[in-house]
Amino acid sequence: MVDRHFSEPDLAELYDYFSFWRCSPQDDFYLDLVMDARAVLDVGCGTGKLQRVARERGHTGRLVGLDPADAMLEVARRDRDDIEWITGDLVSGPHGAEGDAPLTGGFDLVVMSGHAFQVFTTDEELRANLAAVRRVLTDDGRFVFETRNPGARGWEAWSPERVRTVEGPGGRGATCVHRLNAVEGDLVTFTSDYVVEGWSRPRSSRSTLRFLDAAALNGFLEEAGLRVSAQYGYWDRSPLTAASEEIITFARPA
C-alpha cells in the first residue's frame, strides 16, 4: 500500500517543494551516473526529478521512471512526456496491465534514490524486488542505491521540534513535521504532518521504513545474485563506517 503523502494529489504536489533539486548532494551524485548510462530505470522515482533533469541536460538514451503512486507520476508527466513513466512495481510490472507482465530487461543502470529502498519492510518483499533488479539488469549493468545507516540513528531527529517550512504551491507557506512513533527491531514507524496556508486542516501520512545494516544488506544482495562492487558512507564517496549517515551501494550481477 502506497503511503498517503505519495498517493494523494494534494500531498504529491508538495513533494518537489520540500525535495527540490540539489536540496541534497545525492542529486548530482545520481545525475552523473545517469548521464553516463544508455538505459536507466529509476525505481520509486516519485515525481521523476532525477530523470527529468537528466533529459534537460541532454540525455538521449532510454529513461524509465517506475513508481506505484500515480499521483506522483502525474507531476512528472506534466513536466515531460519524453520519458517512460510507468505506474507499477518491479515485481508485478505496470499496474493494470493485462497479465501484470513484469518489466523487460536491458537496463545498464538501475537506481533507487531518496531512500526508496527502505520501503521493503519484509524479507520476502526485499528478496522479490532484488531478484527483479537482477532480472532487468544487463550482465555488465549496475544497481546503485542508498539506505540510511542504522548506526547513525537518524530517526532520533524525527521530532516536532524540527519543522521544515518552504514556499509551496502558489507562493503559500507549507510546513512539514515528522513524529517518531515506534522503533521495533529494524523497522521504524513515523508520521509526517503537512500544513499549507489555505488548508482547512493538516494532512498526515504514516510510514514504516526498514533500517538494514551493511552486513544484512549485503547478504540479501548476494542471495539475489548481486555482488557489491563499492560502498560509501556519504555522497563524497567517503568510506563506510559504523556511524556513517548513509550506506551507498554499487552492485553488479555476480
- CB within 8 Å of 228: residues ≥ 6 apart: 218, 221, 249, 250, 251
Q: Are residues 170 and 198 in the same domain?
A: yes
Q: Are residues 43 and 169 in the same domain?
A: no
Ordered per-residue pLDDT tens for the chain, 254 residues = 789 999 999 999 999 999 999 999 999 999 999 999 999 999 999 999 999 999 999 999 999 999 999 999 999 999 999 999 999 999 999 987 655 567 888 999 999 999 999 999 999 999 999 999 999 999 999 999 999 999 999 999 999 999 999 999 999 999 999 999 999 999 999 999 999 999 999 999 999 999 999 999 999 999 999 999 999 999 999 999 999 999 999 999 99
State how many domains the chain has.
2
Fill in the DSSP letter of residue 235: T
Q: How far is CA 121 from CA 145, 151, 162, 169, in A?
A: 16, 18, 26, 32
pLDDT at res. 185: 97
Q: Are residues 76 and 178 in the same domain?
A: no
Q: Are residues 51 and 108 in the same domain?
A: yes
Can you give the residue range of the structural domain that contains 199?
A: 152-209
**Which is nearest to 135 in space by CA: 197, 90, 188, 176?**
90
Q: Are residues 8 and 129 in the same domain?
A: yes
| CATH code at position 76 | 3.40.50.150
Burial 149-166 (b: 16+ CB within 10 A, else e): bbbbebbeebeeeeeeeb
Residue 169: exposed, middle, or buried by beta-carbon count in 10 A (0-12, 13-18, 19+)? Answer: middle
Question: Residue type for 106, please?
Answer: G
Q: Are residues 18 and 86 in the same domain?
A: yes
Q: Are residues 194 and 120 in the same domain?
A: no
Q: What is the dihedral of CA 171, 74, 4, 149, to 10 degrees?
A: -90
Q: Are residues 201 and 179 in the same domain?
A: yes
Distance CA 57, CA 35 (A): 8
Distance CA 236, CA 17 (A): 25
Q: Are residues 73 and 159 in the same domain?
A: no
pLDDT at res. 104: 80
Task: Give 147's strand partners.
Answer: 247
Q: Are residues 236 and 192 in the same domain?
A: no
Distance CA 148, CA 24 (A): 14
Q: Are residues 204 and 215 in the same domain?
A: no
**Which is nearest to 67 in space by CA: 40, 94, 36?**
94
Would the CA dihedral through 209, 65, 124, 232 be positive or negative?
A: negative
Give φ, ψ of 35 to 5 degrees: -65, -25
Distance CA 251, CA 128 (A): 16
Q: Residue 152: helix, strand or coil by DSSP? A: helix
Q: Are residues 219 and 182 in the same domain?
A: no
- CB within 8 Å of 92: residues ≥ 6 apart: 100, 102
Distance CA 41, CA 21 (A): 19
